[in-house]
Every structure is written in C-alpha cells, then in structure tokens.
Chains A and B, each alone.
Chain A
C-alpha cells in the first residue's frame, strides 16, 4: 500500500497498463478493425460484388429458386444483402442437412464461395484471442475489467488534465506523448467505458454463472434458450396442395406480395428487410418470420413480424423480452454498432484507434520514464520496450500479412482460410524474433514500421495488378465499399512511412549526440 490514496491509484494505473497493455492493445486493435467486419469480408471475397437489385426482386427470385430447388425442405431462409455485406443467400434445411446458395447481381447461383475467415477473423480474435474453448473469452473479460479499472484510476491520476487538456506541447517528444496520452484518455472516456462495460455484459452470464446455475434448469448453458422468447412449436399436420390456396402454382409458394405490402406500410425506411425465414414449408400452418434490418435500433434484436405463409395474414409475434435482456441487447448493440451509418462508423473507428494510441502511449511513457530514472532492472526494461514493438508494430504487420495471404493464396488451395490465420501468427512471431534480436528497440520500431508501410503499398500493387477486372467492375457499379480499401491501404502506408522516417531521424540525432559527447568524456578523463 502506498502512502496516499492518489499514489496507490497511480501505482495501480501504471501496473495495470504495463502488465495488460499488450493484451489490451491486441483486443482494441482487432476490435476496432471489426467495425468493418462485413466490409473486410466483402473485400476479401472477389465474388461479393455490388448488388443493385431491389429487395422485392431479390425476394421474388429467392422464393422462385427455393420453390424449384427446395420444395421438400422443412425450412427456408433468405438473407438479403446490405450495402455493407453484399451477401445475398438462400438456405434450406431438409432433416439435419443444410444447404446454402449465394446469388450475385446477375442472379447467378453459386454453392462455392471463396474459403476465407474474412473480417470475422479479427472480430473473433478480439474476444476469443483464438483460444475459444481454452479460456480466451475469460482472458478478454478480465482484460476488459482491468481496462475499466485503468480508466477510473487514470481519471484520478491525470485529474489535472481536466483543467488543461487542450494543450499538446509539440516541442519535446516525451511531453507531447504524455499530453497525447491524457488527451486521448479524455476523448475516449465515454467510448472506452461503453466498450468495456458492454463487452463484459455480453458474457456476463459466463463470468458470473452462479445465479444462472442456481435458478435455471440447464444452468448457464441453457439460460439463453429459457429467457429469450420464442414462437410456439408448429403443428404441421396438413400439407398444402395446389387446390387449396394457390390453385395453379406447384409447388406452393408463399403469398409474399401481401406480406411485403404489410411490411411496407409498417417499416418505412429503404430496404427494411434483413432476413426472411419460412418454417414448415408446404404445410397449411406454415409461417413466415420477417426480420427488420438493424439500421433503426441500437439493440441487436431488430423487430420481427410473423405471418401465415399461404394467406399472408399477420400472426401474433414474439413476446417482449424482459428488461434485463433488453438492456443486455442494447449494450451488445452498442458494442457491435451495427446500427451505425458509415459516417458514425468512421467516428467510432477513429475513437477505437485513439483507444489503441492511448494504450500504446501509456506503455511507451512508462519505458521512457524508467529509462530516465535508471531505477528499473535492465532486463525488465528491455522486455517491456521490445514487447511494445511486438504488440504494436508486430500486430500491424500480422494484420497486413493476413490480407496479403488472402490475396496471394490460390482459390483452389485446400484449407486456405487456415493458411491466412497461419500467416497472421507466423508474421507476428517473426516480428517478436526481430524485435528481440535487434539491440535497440528504436531500430526495431523503425524497421517494422517501414516494413508495414511497404506491405501496405504492396497490397495496393497486388490489387491493381491481380484484380484489375474487379476494380473496373467496381468503378462501373460505383462499389465504394470495395474501392475504398485501396486508398485506405495507401494512406496507411504513407502514415507508417512517416512514422518510420520520424523514428529514423531520432535515431540519427541520438547517434550524433552520443558521438559528440564521447570525445569530451575522453578529454576529461585524460585531464584527470
């Protein structure tokens, strides 16, 4: 225990940052990238081109396709594309078998998509750390709790900055870093609290399973199915024949025209439907569940309407969820930000990057201060200093190598999705080897940033050389989602090059300063 409460808070803030900083950076960085999960998946899958069909024509085509190819199925599901995902698919279930078919803008069906983890890799990594089933989610949860603690202790530690947080003293790098750390902290307080709190709430039942285990039949594993309202089971007894409702259509198709008309009157926004599920296909009691897009709600549970399939009459829908369940869904929705339009998404992305910068600068400040005071064990200092390089520059390199692996590995290669993941971890491990092999951390920073910059430009070159047809197609169709990745990589490359150059200049300055002090020291020794 320290002498004063403030000193204890400073100590806690410092060591939470030093011990968990790398992990938090990895979670924050990949989480920030996850704001563009569907966009990244689209970028990494060449077949996901722009879809310009109207929702009505897509629904009509999907039902026609399912009627022809899956008339005997138990369940149909149509997933309509959004501007972000451009993923239009139908899925049907016969017994225990599921089949999925995707469509492109020319209505061509395909059962084979590019094998890739896509943007989901970063999303899954940020909360499982690729250790699902091995405690990854617990580790991420503990990190989120520690981050919350670090935020509150940070507010207490840097309380003076509430009086002068507008200043960034650019004259000295160390002062600028400290100012920037405080400024980034203040700017991201609401964002970080929201992200950490909602992240913990998503898996609250897993972190605190005692109540669920004591009060629910199947404990924590069955609690969701018991508290989430569901529709009554269908009593599928009588098959629909051609004479019953739609006398001249075989096999029977849903009365979607009436259903769509009802929906258009209730949901007024453009392209309101995200998903349509038909349960009990071909039976008289069959029903259609229509799910609204998430653009109009913060919650992860969008509105759902239920209709009788063959008459189009509305049915009683789902019961309302309990208040705690609704709160959890809102927090979940805030965390994922599926509701966010593109401008808000970029703002949230910017806040995520600031959060990463906050964590990274915290660790860099610790190293700089310890170097100055010369109190720290040299081994620990070198470990943290080089670990910072691996955590920040190494992760950037690894992420870029994931994209490059996706672009370079042939589409016919079996297990290519796993190769992408292997490329990510191999490059990250190599970055660690490089950082610890280099005598000076500054040199490792410079070289890894320079390499990351080169990889960004290389990604642009790959795109321009190997995917020229896709670029031309995207320009013709004004596919801004795909096209925006090229300038994004280019600008990232410039920023990383600038960072590498700055660090390089500092190394040169430091070397000149060392050389200029050495002879004078010798002279002094001789005089003595």
Chain B
C-alpha cells in the first residue's frame, strides 16, 4: 500500500512540475515532455490534479496504516523520496 502512496505522490509532483511555468519552458527542450505538455489541459487544471493526487496519497496512507502518527511519518518520508525522484528524472531528461 505504501508503494501505491508513493506512486500517487510521484504522479502528483509530476503534474505540479508540468504546471510550473519555468519547467514547462525547460520542457520545450525535451522531446518527451513536449509531447506530454501538448496533450495536457491548462496549467491550473494540471496543478489542481497534482494537489488532489497528493491529498489522495495522504488519505490512502491514513486509511491503510492503523496508527495515524506512523502513517504520517511514512507519508512525509515517501513525499521526500517522490520529490527527489521527480527532480532527478526531470534533470536527466534528454
């Protein structure tokens, strides 16, 4: 279940990243992201989806782990891991 929480966070950050102006500009140099950006709706909508995915990941962590405090620690840890993964992925794009 934690893997699912992590995947939701990854998707959430991916949406937030694509919704950021600066990154959208940088993505202009990346073939893959240019394709992705073309099919994406407006940046506000993408940003909204991003935040909703992050909230969904928090809810899932709370629901799947019995002890709330431990669920919160899990969520914070995977959040950092997801953020780092997205940053490294984005920085290494061709």
Residues of A within 8 A of B (CB): 163-170, 183, 186-188, 190-191, 296-298, 330, 334, 337, 339-340, 343-344, 347-348, 350-351, 354
Contact of A347 with B67 in the complex, beta carbons under 8 Å = no
Besides A164-B22, A343-B2, A347-B77, 5 new A-B residue pairs in contact (Cβ under 8 A), listed by A number:
A296-B67, A298-B69, A334-B73, A351-B80, A354-B80
B residues within 8 A CB of A334?
73
Say whether chain A's binding surface is mostly helix, strand, loop, or mixed. helix
User: In the complex the two chains form, is B81's CB within 8 Å of A350's CB?
Assistant: yes
Within 8 A of A (CB), among B41-78: 67, 69-70, 73-74, 76-78
Docked Cα-Cα span, A348 to B86, in Å, equals: 18
How far apart are the CA atoms of A350 and B83 in the complex, in Å? 13
The 3 closest A-B pairs by CB, nearest first: A168-B91, A347-B77, A298-B69
Choice from A164, A170, A187, A297 contacting B67 with Cβ under 8 Å = A297
**Docked-complex contact B77 and A298, CB < 8 angstroms:** no
| Minimal beta-carbon separation of A139 from chain B (angstroms) | 28
Contact B87 A183 (CB under 8 A): yes
**Known contacts A188-B80, A297-B67, A330-B69: A166-B74 contact under CB 8 Å:** no
Nearest neighbor of B79 in chain A, beta-carbon distance = A190
Q: How far is the CA of A351 from the CA of B74 in the complex (A)?
A: 13
In the complex, which of the residues B20, B78, B90 has the most CB atoms of chain A within 10 Å of its own CB atom? B20
By a CB distance below 8 angstroms, the chain B residues around A186 are: 83
Complex Cα distance, B81 from A348, in Å, reads 10
For A297, what are the chain B residues with a Cβ–Cβ distance below 8 Å? 67, 69
Q: How far is the CA of A354 from the CA of B83 in the complex (A)?
A: 13
Contacts of B20 in A (CB 8 A): 163-164, 166
Question: CB-CB < 8 A to A191: which residues of B?
Answer: 76, 80
Chain B residues near A298 (CB-CB < 8 A): 67, 69-70, 73
Could you say which residues of chain B place their CB within 8 Å of the CB of A165?
A: 87
Give the residue of B26, B77, B91 whose beta carbon is less than 8 angstroms from that of A170.
B91
Mask of B1-42 contacts with A, CB within 8 angstroms, 1/0 = 010000000000000010010110010000000000000000
Classify chain B: how many residues form its interface, as a range.
Answer: 20 to 34
A-B CB contact pairs (8 Å), 19 listed: A164-B20, A166-B17, A166-B86, A166-B87, A167-B26, A167-B91, A168-B88, A168-B91, A170-B91, A183-B87, A190-B76, A191-B76, A297-B69, A330-B69, A334-B73, A339-B70, A344-B73, A348-B77, A354-B80
Flag if B76 contacts A166 (CB, 8 Å).
Answer: no
Closest chain A residue to B22 by CB distance? Answer: A164
B78 to chain A: closest CB distance in Å? 7
Question: Which positions in B face A, CB cutoff 8 Å?
Answer: 2, 17, 20, 22-23, 26, 67, 69-70, 73-74, 76-81, 83-84, 86-88, 90-92
Give B6 Cβ to nearest chain A Cβ, in Å. 10
Nearest B residue to A350, CB-CB: B81
Residue of B with least CB distance to A183? B87
On chain A, the residues within 8 Å of B73 by CB distance are 298, 334, 337, 339-340, 344
The interface centre, meaning the residue of B73, B74, B90, B92 with most chain A CB atoms within 10 A of its CB, is: B73
Question: In the assembled complex, which residues on chain A have CB atoms less than 8 Å from the CB atom of B17?
Answer: 166
A251 to B14 CA separation, bound complex (whole angstroms): 68
Smallest beta-carbon distance A190→chain B, Å: 5
Expressed in whole angstroms, the Cα–Cα distance for A170 and B86 within the complex equals 15
Q: Note all chain A residues with C-beta closer than 8 A to B2.
A: 343
Q: A190-B76, A191-B76 are in contact. Are A167 and B22 (CB under 8 A)?
A: yes
Closest residue of chain B to A165 (Cβ to Cβ) is B87
Q: How many angstroms from the CA of A351 to the CA of B22 in the assembled complex? A: 27
Contact A347 B81 (CB under 8 A): yes
A170 to B87, CA, bound (A): 12
B78 surroundings in chain A (CB, below 8 A)? 347
Name B82's closest neighbour in chain A (CB-CB): A187
Q: Which residue of A lies closest to B74 (CB)?
A: A344
Smallest CB–CB gap between B3 and chain A, Å?
10
